[in-house]
């Protein structure tokens, strides 16, 4: 019920504003802006001192001014001054670095007699009680990526690059534990709102193990890490990278080829018969598939896909997910999520869409058998839960032929290995091969699929880990299951899923963990 009595409004700023400026006063120290605390000093003495200071070329402003650099008080403790200032500036405590100096009147009188602001000495400063901080107050960085906001552009590129190289190398060696340790350390650094300069700054940051610390320290001191450089230059690392960039090739296959002595893409051509269909297509379009896909290209493909879907099932929707939804301007592929608001309508849609695109000449390769993931590779699976849950989706990996009529991006000509059967699509200015993933989901699972396919992979991994370890729930791209209550929790939006998990909502652009 509303109060019967009128609420009396407090308007301290009006009453306690300094007297108006006299245009004839000089401004001699523009970087020093004083504020005189009226409490205990009294209004008339404050006006007198303000006028005096201004005549001598000092700036004096009210407590609500963001420009204030020196707060001068008479007869108050530091804590009292802080309390008084907080009435005018509610952000006072939040930006300690930008807080003005809290000074006794002695500093003011000495400065007035000196004719300039004197250096601040300890005896001028008003002490403020520092509240005992609980350790968790200082450790603001959360341990799970899904509890942190991670922007696309962050402040620790060199450190992240070094750690991600080591994560990749560990992955190439099959050392999943080491891979996770390095990726987690890299991921947490991406979320820090500052550029790390000293290793001590990380004392409170979680997920950074001893080995990662050592690498970080090396990079901070020397600009590079010898271990990382060694990895980057090693033959095995370089060849593995070459091989896993082939569409349809994962670490296991690449590693096996390396052990068999294969070293170049031409070596693979001699093995052509042993390659799976996806890998053959991948090799054929190797160069194109390794040129980043631009957002405008993804949108151009989106238009074609929307047209097809709309025609085959009116009312169905096509959503661009993956990295582009997180705000990336380019990516290694394009990810689409398709659904229809009437549950059941979506059944069979994917094969119709794929057939239509294929008949129109848009697909250079597609693989959409029920067990699609078998055609792809091991590690796609291992990082995304069990085959049992993956199998439920209608999905398709494809290589899309993007005609540049659909897209105004000019492209440079590429280079071609002489005598190579690796078709240099870069030489063709008319079109480009682009990796496109399609997923069709029933409407009731849409929010889960959207959350699951938006990534990043680190964010997804921690969402699942957080659900399981902290909430006893199992999250997949289909559903959220409460393991103790033995029930499924439905959700119509990503926000609802975060709510079920007791997590603050993190928008896609801040999921770049
Ligand atoms: N994903 C998945 N199952 C797969 C492959 C991918 O659930 N077999 C999910 C991943 O968890 C990720 C999202 O799909 O969240 C997108 O994966 P991907 O396209 O590989 O990565 P992006 O984040 O889109 O990065 P890029 O921009 O390089 O494509
Ligand atoms: Mn993607
Ligand atoms: Mn993808």
Catalytic residue check, 25: no
| Ligand 1, atom 23, residue with closest C-alpha | 323
CA–CA dist 398, 381 (Å, integer): 17
**How much is the average pLDDT of 13-26?**
79
Output the pLDDT for position 513. 98
Report yes or no: 403 and 428 within 8 Å, Cβ to Cβ: no
Rounded to 10°, the helix 349-359/295-312 angle is 110
Nearest ligand, CA 397: 3
Question: Domain boundary residue among 102, 124, 146?
Answer: 124
Query: In this model, does residue 429 exceed pLDDT 80?
Result: no
Which residue from 279, 460, 210 is spatially nearest to 218, judged by alpha carbons?
A: 210
Residue 11 makes CB contacts below 8 A (sequence gap 6+) with none
Residue 97, Cβ density class (10 Å: 0-12 exposed, 13-18 middle, ≥19 buried): exposed
Nearest ligand, CA 328: 1
Return the SS3 of 154: coil
Output the pLDDT for position 216. 98
Annotated catalytic residue within 79, 288, 403, 437: 437
Which tokens belong to 157?
């590129």
**Which of 183, 247, 322, 435 should be mutated for ligand 1, with most atoms under 8 A from CB?**
322
Say which CATH number the domain at 109 has.
3.40.50.10190
**Which of 448, 455, 458, 475 should be mutated for ligand 1, with most atoms under 8 A from CB?**
455
Q: How many domains does the chain have?
A: 4
Rounded to 10°, the helix 210-222/157-172 angle is 130
For the ranges 100-104, 198-202, 227-231, 244-248, the lowest mean pLDDT is seen at 100-104
pLDDT range class, residue 445, cuts 50, 70, 90: very high
Q: Are residues 373 and 462 in the same domain?
A: yes
Within-domain flag for 417:
no
Output the pLDDT for position 85. 86
500, β-bridge pairs: none
Report yes or no: 175 and 168 within 8 Å, Cβ to Cβ: no
Output the pLDDT for position 90. 66
Within-domain flag for 28:
no
Output the pLDDT for position 421. 46
Q: Are residues 246 and 375 in the same domain?
A: no
| Ligand 1, atom 15, residue with closest C-alpha | 455
pLDDT range class, residue 415, cuts 50, 70, 90: very low
Q: pTM, whole model, 2 decimals?
A: 0.71
Pocket of ligand 1 (CB under 6 A): 322-323, 328, 331-333, 335, 380, 384, 452-453, 455-457, 460, 477
Query: In this model, does residue 259 exceed pLDDT 90?
Result: yes
Kindly list the strands in the beta sheet with 334-339, ordered across the sheet, starting from the edge strand earlier in the chain: 317-320, 334-339, 431-440, 394-403, 363-367
Which residue from 449, 498, 499, 457 is spatially nearest to 477, judged by alpha carbons?
A: 449
pLDDT range class, residue 399, cuts 50, 70, 90: very high
Output the pLDDT for position 96. 46
Say which CATH number the domain at 174 has.
1.10.150.110
Q: Cα(397) to centroid of ligand 1, in Å?
A: 12
**How much is the average pLDDT of 408-414?**
45
| Ligand 1, atom 1, residue with closest C-alpha | 453
DSSP 213: H
Calculate the alpha carbon distances from 172 to 181, 215, 486, 513 in Å: 14, 19, 38, 21
Stretch (H or E) spanning 59: strand 59-60
Query: In this model, does residue 442 exceed pLDDT 90?
Result: yes
For the ranges 68-72, 135-139, 336-340, 402-406, the lowest mean pLDDT is seen at 135-139
Output the pLDDT for position 132. 64
Output the pLDDT for position 369. 53
CA–CA dist 257, 405 (Å, integer): 39
Q: Are residues 334 and 464 in the same domain?
A: yes
**How much is the average pLDDT of 396-407?**
86
Annotated catalytic residue within 25, 104, 137, 333: 333
Output the pLDDT for position 341. 98
Pick the more confident residue, 5 or 90: 90
Ligand 1 atom nearest to CA at 326: 23
Compute the mean pLDDT over every residue in the chain, rounded to the nearest whole number.
Answer: 88
Rounded to 10°, the helix 105-114/43-55 angle is 30
pLDDT tens profile 50-68: 999 999 999 999 988 888 9
Ligand 1 atom nearest to CA at 322: 24
Question: Domain boundary residue among 91, 124, 157?
Answer: 124
Q: Cα(6) to centroid of ligand 2, in Å?
A: 58
Rounded to 10°, the helix 251-259/157-172 angle is 60
215: number of Cβ within 10 Å:
23
Q: Cα(342) to centroid of ligand 2, in Å?
A: 27
First to last CA, the chain: 46
123, β-bridge pairs: none
Q: Cα(436) to centroid of ligand 3, in Å?
A: 7
Q: Cα(452) to centroid of ligand 3, in Å?
A: 11
Q: Are residues 389 and 300 in the same domain?
A: yes
Output the pLDDT for position 98. 58
Output the pLDDT for position 271. 87
pLDDT tens profile 265-312: 999 999 888 999 999 999 999 999 999 999 999 999 999 999 999 999
Rounded to 10°, the helix 226-233/235-244 angle is 60
Nearest ligand, CA 331: 1
Which residue from 47, 39, 48 is spatially nearest to 75, judged by alpha carbons?
A: 39
Query: In this model, does residue 175 exceed pLDDT 70?
Result: yes
Output the pLDDT for position 134. 53
Residue 337, Cβ density class (10 Å: 0-12 exposed, 13-18 middle, ≥19 buried): buried
What is 163-196 written as a DSSP string? HHHHHHHHHHTT-HHHHHHHHHHHHHHHH-SS--
Catalytic residue check, 391: no
Query: In this model, does residue 381 exceed pLDDT 50?
Result: no
| Ligand 1, atom 4, residue with closest C-alpha | 380
Q: Are residues 206 and 331 in the same domain?
A: no
Strands 487-489 and 480-482, how do they pair? antiparallel
Q: Are residues 215 and 297 in the same domain?
A: no
Stretch (H or E) spanning 71: strand 70-73
Catalytic residue check, 358: no
CA–CA dist 15, 271 (Å, integer): 86
Q: Cα(456) to centroid of ligand 1, in Å?
A: 7
pLDDT tens profile 7-17: 544 554 456 78
Which parts of 463-502 are beta strand (E)? Answer: 473-475, 480-482, 487-489
Ligand 1 atom nearest to CA at 376: 8
Within-domain flag for 26:
no
Q: Cα(53) to centroid of ligand 3, in Å?
A: 66
25: number of Cβ within 10 Å:
16
Q: Are residues 359 and 255 in the same domain?
A: no
Annotated catalytic residue within 335, 358, 403, 424: 335
Query: In this model, does residue 384 exceed pLDDT 50?
Result: no
CA–CA dist 400, 333 (Å, integer): 10
Stretch (H or E) spanning 113: helix 105-114
Within-domain flag for 277:
yes
Pick the more confident residue, 369 or 464: 464
Which tokens belong to 160?
């992240």
For the ranges 114-128, 161-175, 451-465, the lowest mean pLDDT is seen at 114-128
Rounded to 10°, the helix 226-233/157-172 angle is 50
Report yes or no: 112 and 54 within 8 Å, Cβ to Cβ: no
**Which of 152, 323, 509 should be mutated for ligand 1, with most atoms under 8 A from CB?**
323
For the chain, percent of residues with pLDDT exceeding 90: 74
pLDDT range class, residue 428, cuts 50, 70, 90: low
For the chain, percent of residues with pLDDT exceeding 70: 84
Phi, psi at 117, each rounded to 5°: -65, 120
| Ligand 1, atom 18, residue with closest C-alpha | 322
Query: In this model, does residue 491 exceed pLDDT 50?
Result: yes
Pick the more confident residue, 496 or 387: 496
| Ligand 1, atom 8, residue with closest C-alpha | 380
| Ligand 1, atom 16, residue with closest C-alpha | 322
33, β-bridge pairs: 59
Which residue from 32, 14, 22, 167 is spatially nearest to 100, judged by alpha carbons?
A: 32
Q: Are residues 305 and 402 in the same domain?
A: yes
Output the pLDDT for position 130. 66
Output the pLDDT for position 335. 98
What is 214-263 written as a DSSP string? HHHHHHHHHSS-HHHHHHHH-HHHHHHHHHHTSTT--HHHHHHHHHTT--
Within-domain flag for 11:
no
Q: Are residues 332 and 402 in the same domain?
A: yes
Strands 70-73 and 33-36, how do they pair? parallel
Pick the more confident residue, 12 or 402: 402
pLDDT tens profile 121-172: 888 988 887 666 555 444 689 999 999 999 999 999 999 999 999 999 999 9
What domain range is 494 assigned to?
Answer: 286-409+427-513
Q: Are residues 47 and 152 in the same domain?
A: no
pLDDT range class, residue 394, cuts 50, 70, 90: confident
| Ligand 1, atom 17, residue with closest C-alpha | 322
């Amino acid at each position: 019920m509303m109060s019967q009595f009128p609420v009396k409004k407090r308007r301290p700023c009006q009453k306690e504003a300094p007297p108006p400026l006299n245009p004839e006063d000089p401004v001699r120290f523009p970087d020093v802006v004083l504020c005189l605390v009226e409490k205990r000093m009294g209004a008339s003495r404050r006006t007198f001192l303000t006028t005096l200071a201004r005549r001598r070329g000092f700036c004096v402003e009210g407590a609500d001014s963001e420009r204030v650099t020196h707060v001068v008080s008479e007869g108050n403790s530091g804590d009292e001054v802080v309390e008084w200032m907080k009435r005018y500036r509610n952000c006072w405590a939040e930006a300690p670095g930008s807080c003005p100096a809290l000074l006794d009147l002695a500093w003011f009188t000495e400065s007035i007699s000196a004719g300039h602001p004197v250096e601040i000495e300890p005896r001028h400063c008003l002490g403020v009680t520092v509240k005992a901080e609980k350790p968790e107050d200082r450790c603001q960085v959360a341990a799970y990526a899904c509890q942190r906001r991670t922007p696309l552009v962050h402040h620790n590129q060199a450190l992240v690059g070094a750690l991600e190289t080591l994560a990749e190398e560990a992955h190439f060696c099959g050392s999943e534990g080491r891979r996770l340790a390095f990726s987690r350390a890299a991921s947490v650094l991406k979320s820090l709102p500052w550029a790390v300069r000293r290793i001590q700054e990380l004392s409170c940051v979680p997920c950074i193990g001893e080995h990662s610390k050592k690498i970080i320290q090396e990079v901070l001191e020397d600009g590079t890490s010898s271990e990382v450089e060694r990895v980057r230059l090693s033959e095995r690392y370089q060849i593995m990278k070459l091989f896993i960039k082939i569409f349809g090739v994962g670490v296991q296959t690449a590693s096996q080829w390396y052990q068999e002595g294969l070293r170049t893409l031409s070596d693979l051509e001699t093995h052509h018969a042993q390659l799976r269909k996806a890998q053959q297509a991948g090799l054929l379009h190797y160069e194109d598939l390794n040129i980043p896909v631009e957002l405008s290209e993804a949108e151009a493909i989106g238009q074609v896909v929307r047209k097809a879907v709309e025609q085959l099932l009116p009312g169905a929707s096509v959503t661009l997910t993956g990295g582009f939804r997180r705000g990336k301007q380019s990516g290694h592929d394009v990810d689409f999520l398709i659904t229809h608001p009437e549950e059941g309508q979506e059944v069979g849609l994917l094969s119709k869409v794929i057939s239509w695109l294929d008949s129109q000449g848009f697909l250079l390769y597609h693989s959409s058998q029920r067990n699609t993931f078998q055609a792809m590779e091991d590690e796609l699976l291992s990082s995304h839960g069990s085959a049992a849950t993956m199998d439920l989706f209608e999905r398709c990996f494809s290589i899309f032929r993007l005609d540049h009529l659909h897209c105004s991006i000019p492209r440079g000509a590429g280079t071609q290995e002489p005598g190579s059967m690796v078709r240099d699509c870069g030489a063709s200015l008319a079109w480009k091969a682009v990796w496109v993933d399609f997923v069709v989901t029933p409407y009731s699972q849409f929010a889960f699929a959207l959350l699951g396919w938006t990534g990043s992979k680190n964010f997804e991994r921690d969402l699942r880990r957080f659900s399981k370890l902290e909430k006893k729930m199992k999250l997949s791209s289909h559903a959220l299951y409460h393991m103790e209550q033995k029930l499924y929790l439905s959700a119509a939006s990503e926000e609802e899923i975060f709510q079920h998990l007791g997590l603050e909502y993190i928008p896609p652009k801040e999921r770049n963990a």
